[in-house]
Amino acid sequence: MEHKGFTLWFTGLPCSGKTTLADALAKDLREKGMKVERLDGDIVRKSLTKDLGFSKEDRQMNIERVTFVAKLLTRNGVAVLCTFVSPYNAIRRKSREEIGEYILVYVKATPEACAERDVKGMWAKAKAGEIKNFTGYDDPFEEPDNAQIIIDTENQTVEESKKIILNWLDKNSYL
């Protein structure tokens, strides 16, 4: 199936549900015959950006590298699903400008809800002082000022959230 390439950029606090939702959505898009690639923060940091830490500058470089890859895939007709905390509005705006067909999905959840569903224990480690500069705890997360789609993972199931995104994509001629 030929389709216009686009990037769905999922942003939100750590453990807000970005990866869970994007993985489920990728499956649905593949079943529709679409070319789909997933770029996930945890995976990218083990390869493409393994040389980077978590300073503001390193986070920015991480997103710049991912943006470059997403842009290449998007212009070649791929549905790219990116799941990154990407905490700053300025870098998200820059990614939008660079990629072009960029849809920002804000996966919204409170820090308390994120800490409750954290299977890796990162929020607890941040609270104990074992992790410094943890987004949402001792490092800022700027709520998106221009998200096309807002998903509330505290009040919506994965299925409900997928439906919202698929409806938006269909309405805006991406499907």
Among residues 86, 95, 161, 173, the one annotated as catalytic is 86
Take residue 125 and report the two structure tokens written for it: 């480690």
Asked whether 10 and 21 are in contact (CB, 8 A), the reply is yes
**Residue 91 token pair:** 């870098």
Q: How far apart are CA 63 and CA 24, in angstroms?
A: 23
CA 148 – CA 57 distance, rounded (Å):
26
Angle between helices 18-31 and 158-171 (to 10 degrees): 60
- Widest CA span of the chain, in angstroms? 50
Q: Is 86 marked active-site?
A: yes
- Taking the C-alpha atoms of residue 122 and residue 114, their distance in angstroms, rounded to an integer, is 10
Which residues carry out catalysis?
A: 86
